[in-house]
A and B are shown apart, each in its own frame.
Chain A
Amino acid sequence: MIPDVADGAMSSAEWVLFWVVAPIAVVAASALIFARRAVTATICMVATMVCLAVLYVALDAPFLAMAQVVVYTGAIMMLFIFVLMLVGVDVADSFTETIRGQRVASVVFSLGLAAVLIGAVARAALPDPAGIPASPSGGNPGGVAAVIFGDYPFTLELVGTLLITAALGAVVMTHRVRLTPRRGQRELSIARVKAGTQVTPLPAPGVYAGRNAADVPALDAMGGVIATSVPESLRARGQAQQIGAAAQPAFDAAQAPSALPPSAPADPAPSDGPAEPDEPAEPDGPAEPAESDSAAEPDEPAAADTPADEGGEE
């Protein structure tokens, strides 16, 4: 694969390859500092790893290049992306400075470090590169294997032990002891019937509304907004659409005193409407469809009917 260069000096083709790959690696790596979102930084880091693998090939280390692609871009960076998805992708990094002057000090330190490192390397008078000697068996992987298994067998075993210990440590650290008994589907359904709030499934979003997108709350028979029809995650993020002009603007209790509360289509007991006038729910319901509290309130009177509910269940 690699032409055996006798003296190991950089050929002109290698220069071209270096100047194509190295800027990409540096630009992608600097995304670690400047990217606002962690996912962007991770993807740019993958690009840097691949560029480094290309440089390893140019440096007569094809085995390490393959290991770099497989281990770093294939395993480690994917692990990073897993954890990013686990802890929340949409968490943008905060750029507020908690320690005063820390960022300026960091930049000064980095520039100093760069000056020292690059100055030392550039001023060093390196002799002519020797080049990797041709391995007697199996090319570069064979040569690396001869060194690993010939000169460093104990180190290899130590590293294997380290890997097993790390895997065990990860399992132990992320293990969570279950403090409460597991709540399965049966326990959840029993608890829901006992609470008496909402036995049936929640209404689907967008029914009778102008659109049927998932962020448009459904309308009940009287034109009121059913806030619980919008998925809970959208409500928590405040992404539920305000119905506004699409729905009846306001629904006052004086116009229809015997009306059902906003969550009435899902209410198991139809007789609680006239008995309880639901003062807080009616003005709140259409005004704030994004709040789940306003929709949860009309469910409270339904709890009075739970004896009848449970009688019907048994």
Chain B
Amino acid sequence: MTPYIVLSAVLFVIGATTVLVRRGAIVAFMGIELMLNAANLAFVAFARQNGDLNGQVIAFFVMVVAAAEVVVGLAIIVSLFRARRTVSVDDENLLRH
């Protein structure tokens, strides 16, 4: 199972780097999605490693929660875009002024 776990770690690191480097809110948000997917892959791989279906069930719940999170996050991005005409995370400094 080690290759799957290593792949999951690589994908997680790529997602984390995306969140840190990219300035657009949508692409940064996709980085979060990639991290969730990497965690899912680790869950499924360990489910097979341990012979236990609970890992797959937890991955399923992660998927559902990710869907709810995407709905709310994209709604926030849309309302931010309506108010500020930009989706760059650098321009969201409303609390500073």
Contacts and interface: CB of A to CB of B under 8 A. Distances in A.
Contacts of B29: 80
A87 B51 contact: no
A80 B64 contact: no
Contacts, number: 228
B49 A129 contact: yes
Contacts of B67: 71, 75-76, 163, 166
B20 A109 contact: yes
Interface in A118-146: 118, 121-122, 124, 126, 129-133, 135, 140, 143-144, 146
Interface residues of B, number: 68
Given A80-B30, A167-B71, A121 B5 contact: yes
Interface in B68-86: 68-72, 74-79, 81-82
Given A32-B34, A79-B74, A109-B20, A22 B48 contact: no
Contacts of A45: 30, 33-34
Interface of A: 8, 10, 18, 22, 25-26, 29-30, 32-33, 35, 38, 41-42, 45, 48-49, 52, 55-56, 59-61, 63-64, 67-68, 71-72, 75-76, 79-80, 83-84, 86-87, 91, 93-95, 98, 102-103, 106-107, 109-110, 113-114, 117-118, 121-122, 124, 126, 129-133, 135, 140, 143-144, 146-148, 151-152, 155, 159, 162-163, 165-167, 169-170, 173-174, 176
